[in-house]
Structures are given as C-alpha cells and as structure tokens.
Amino acid sequence: MTHNAQPTASHFVDGTYVEDASGTELPVIYPATGEQIAMLHSATPAIVERAMQSAQRAQIEWSAMTGTERGRVLRRAADIIRDRNRDLSVLETLDTGKPLQETLVADATSGADALEYFGGLAGAVTGEYIPVGNGDFVYTVREPLGVCVGIGAWNYPTQIACWKAAPALACGNAMVFKPSEVTPLCALKIAEILVEAGAPPGLFNVVQGLGDVGAALVSHEATAKVSLTGSVPTGKKVASAAAAELKHITMELGGKSPLIIFEDADLENAVSGAINANFYSSGQVCSNGTRVFVHRSLRDAFVARLTERLGNVVMGNPLDEATNFGPISNAAQLGIIESYIEKGLMEGATLAYGGSRIAGDGYYIEPTVFTDVTDAMTIAREEIFGPVMCVLDFDTEDEVLARANDTEFGLAAGVFTRDLARAHRVIGAIKAGSCYVNTYNLTPVEAPFGGSKSSGIGRENSKEAIGHYSEVKAVYVAAGDVEAPF
C-alpha cells in the first residue's frame, strides 16, 4: 500500500500555505516502509523574513486583545483538534512511524490539552498591586515578549508544536515554529487549525528546514525568545547564539534518567513502569528512565517478568491499531541505536532480550534489554534515544543515589517502593526536573516539565510556563510630592 501525505505547500506563513521550490529538498519518509510520502522544501531567507514580519504584525494585533479573547481562540483550536483526532493521529503516525494505538491517545490529544489549559489561563495572566508606604504603590504588568521561535525534535511533532505555541500565544506572543526536518508535517495542521479558530494570520507560522533555518530564526533581530526541544549539543549551540543577543530561552534537551526499583516494590507495577520508561514511542522519549537500577534481591524476578512481558510486543504496521511497537523515526537514528547495541555487547553487557534489527525496508528494531550493565559502560552514560534498557544492580539506598546522580543529565527520575518515606527521601536527593513515585513518564499539562543540569533550562506546561513566555513590568506610582536632594 502506498501512502501520500503531501501537504498543500511546505510552509504556513501569514495565514496561508506558501512554497518556494528553490529551497533545499526535504523528502519525508514513512519509517514503517521507507517510502517517500511527501517532498517539502527548506525555507529560503525570503520565507524566513516573511514569517518573521507577519509574526511581528500579528503579535501587535493579538496582544491588544484581552486574555479571555485570546483564550477563546486557543480553546476553539483545542476543540477542532479533538474533533479531528483520528486524521491528525494518522498523520502523526505517517510523520513519525509511531503506532496509531499510541498517537490516537498521546499526540493531538496532548496538544489539545495544552491549548485548552493555556486558553483557560490566558485571562488570568495579570499583575500584582504592591503597597510601598505613604500611599505610594507599585503595580506589575505581565507583558508578552514579542515574537518567539519554537524549534522541534522529531519524536512528538504535534505535541511539541502545541506545548510551545499554547503558553506563548496565551501570553500574547506570536510564534514562528520550525519542526524537525525529519517530521515536518504535523505542525502545518496546527497552524491551519489556529487560523480556523480565529487566530490572526501570522500569529503561528511554520517554516521548514534543517539546522541552518533554525539558526537563522534564532539570530533574527525580531526574535525575543527561543524554545528548543532537541539534543544537548544542539541546545548548547542554540543557547549560545541566543545569549549573544541576550534573548530568552527554554531548553528541553536529552536525558539518561534513572529509574530505581527497591526490593519492596510491587513487581508487576515496577515492570510496567520500566516498560513505559523505555519502550513507548520505540524508546524515542527524552524523559525515558533508561538506567533501571534494580535491587539485587529483586533483579532476577524483575528480568524474568520483564522479558516475559516483552513477548507481548506487537511489532508491525503502525496504522493497524493492534500494533503497539513501531519503527524508529528515521534511518540515521536506527543506525545510531544499532551502534550502541554493538558497543554494549563489546563492553561486556549481557543481552537479555532483543538486540536485532528486523529485516525489511522499515526501520524496525526489537525492544532491547541489557543486564550486567556497569556505570562506566557507554550504554549507561550516553543517551541512546531508542528502545534500549540498561538494568543495573544495586545493594543500598546511599549507593544507588550516588550512582543515579552521577550523570551530566537531569531530566527525569523515578522510584518504585512501598516505603513512602524512602520514596520522598530518594526523589528529594535526585537532581532532576520531572520525577515519579511508583509510576513513570506521565506528563499532564498541569504539571511542570523539564530538566536540570545539561537536560535543560526552564519548564514547559503548568503555570510555570507563563513565566517563561512573559516578563514583568513594575510601575511605581507616587501619591505625594517628589523629594529631591537639591
């Protein structure tokens, strides 16, 4: 069966699809079959300029509206997304290869949640009254930043676009969004829907391209803020470029998060947690708990039950709703994962499950579990961004805490135990932004999401995001005469 996902044009700028075929070609590959399903073009400097200028115009109009009016548009967009969930989910599956079983509940729906939540908050973005004596007072105004740039990774193209656009727009900003060159399709639909919901043309523009287009957007003089979801090396480049002009940033970067399973954990829940922490979206999730520390006394039972349950993986056509494990999003990433598996074997880890690529044109690889992993091994230190779980043994709480924190990353962490005091003690001592007790990888929009250390700066979602897409103006108002020294 052939698939065609060709959009009307490559970019969505100023309320309409636009094309400039002189831009570098960006073929879109369906990871399940390796077939080309669309051909887009990278944005030329002229397209970037049009996007930035129309965003500047739209932002003025948009920020003059009341928060409630802005919120109404965002909530309408959320409703349209929910109405079209199936079509959007199929597109997400074609764009990423993630199984429809997953995309139907995790992508457009999560995007709609963000638009609904921040739509609801938009009217509540207000300032404070601060009395300062003698009838004088200070009032504060929470103002938008202006034009924000969003740059996405390829694992959650719809969700990332919405998680960035929703708080940005709620605060009165405009956004120019560059999807990952690997998954350029879904954000275009969000741009279309926002206009349909009543957003002024130009408020949310989508321009395609590789890193050079991202860099051009970051350094554009009209850009007030950059929010990037991507790897740590890209984050360092983008943050440096933004810092050169003192622009605001949010960085959602990579991780190598610890999941600690104590001897008193509920085994079945711990195995479920470890599966969700490693194999959802074929392991292409930044917050994955890929270093699974299991207490030595529970280890054999844990590995036995885990490998038994991995027998229930249904790998295959992602558009078949029975499939629960899809291909890797792109061939380059598949190669990276294979080379990490080879390194794991070379460095002496034991392959307890999987490890092999599936023959054929799709980018499928088995869910993979390594045991006997030590802290120094490459597979335990570097982000693999694929379905590769490392099981590490431990004996004491102090030991596992020190080892869990011994990483440059600090995105997420999880603990499974029935001992509540220990759960909070351990999570309290772990340096990570998004933590879990007796579960893993749930990301409701109401909760802040983001990383510490090299995993990021700033937080997405929740009320926290409002602070990252606005700044405060303080206004001192005097009630009496002005005193001066001379």
Q: Smallest distance, Å, CB 286 to ligand NAD?
A: 3
Q: Is 469 exposed, middle or buried (0-12, 13-18, 19+ CB in 10 A)?
A: buried
CA-to-CA dists, residue 471 to 13, 213, 241, 248, angstroms: 26, 27, 21, 10
Q: Smallest distance, Å, CB 178 to ligand NAD?
A: 6
Q: What distance in Å separates the CA atoms of residue 218 and residue 82, rounded to the nearest whole number?
A: 32
Q: What distance in Å separates the CA atoms of residue 217 and residue 208, rounded to the nearest whole number?
A: 11
Q: Smallest distance, Å, CB 408 to ligand NAD?
A: 12
Q: Smallest distance, Å, CB 210 to ligand NAD?
A: 5
Active site residue 343: no
Query: Could you tell me which residues come within 8 angstroms of residue 368 by beta carbon, excluding any fewer than 6 positions away?
Result: 341, 351, 353, 354, 355, 387, 388, 389
Active site residue 286: yes
Residue closer to ligand NAD by CB (options 338, 397) is 338
Q: What distance in Å separates the CA atoms of residue 341 and residue 329, rounded to the nearest whole number?
A: 17
Residue closer to ligand NAD by CB (options 238, 465) is 238
Active site residue 162: no
CA-to-CA dists, residue 231 to 171, 239, 486, angstroms: 27, 12, 58
Query: Could you tell me which residues come within 8 angstroms of residue 425 by beta carbon, excluding any fewer than 6 positions away?
Result: 397
Residue number, nearest CB to ligand NAD? 214
Q: What distance in Å separates the CA atoms of residue 151 and residue 182, rounded to the nearest whole number?
A: 12
Catalytic-role residue among 148, 171, 286, 390: 286
Query: Could you tell me which residues come within 8 angstroms of residue 441 by beta carbon, excluding any fewer than 6 positions away?
Result: 276, 277, 280, 285, 287, 288, 289, 412
Residue closer to ligand NAD by CB (options 207, 265) is 207
Q: Smallest distance, Å, CB 258 to ligand NAD?
A: 15
Q: What distance in Å separates the CA atoms of residue 34 and residue 53, rounded to the nearest whole number?
A: 37
Catalytic-role residue among 98, 164, 225, 247: 164
Residue closer to ligand NAD by CB (options 192, 383) is 383
Kind and range of the H or E run holding 95: helix 85-96
Binding site for ligand NAD (CB under 6 A): 151-155, 178, 180-181, 210-211, 214-215, 218, 229-231, 234, 237-238, 252-255, 286, 383, 385, 411, 451, 456
Catalytic-role residue among 116, 181, 252, 366: 252
Q: Smallest distance, Å, CB 434 to ligand NAD?
A: 9
Residue closer to ligand NAD by CB (options 18, 411) is 411
Active site residue 164: yes
Query: Could you tell me which residues come within 8 angstroms of residue 317 by beta carbon, excluding any fewer than 6 positions away?
Result: 32, 323
Q: Smallest distance, Å, CB 481 to ligand NAD?
A: 53
Residue closer to ligand NAD by CB (options 255, 258) is 255
Q: Is 199 exposed, middle or buried (0-12, 13-18, 19+ CB in 10 A)?
A: buried
CB-based contact 203:59 (threshold 8 Å): yes
Q: What distance in Å separates the CA atoms of residue 408 and residue 136, rounded to the nearest whole number?
A: 48
Residue closer to ligand NAD by CB (options 290, 371) is 290
Q: Which long-range contacts (CB under 8 A, 24 or more apart) does 208-211 make?
A: 208/10, 208/11, 208/23, 208/26, 208/40, 208/41, 208/42, 208/43, 208/178, 208/179, 208/181, 208/184, 209/23, 209/24, 209/26, 209/42, 209/43, 209/178, 209/181, 210/24, 210/26, 210/42, 210/181
Q: Smallest distance, Å, CB 49 to ligand NAD?
A: 17
Active site residues: 164, 252, 286, 460
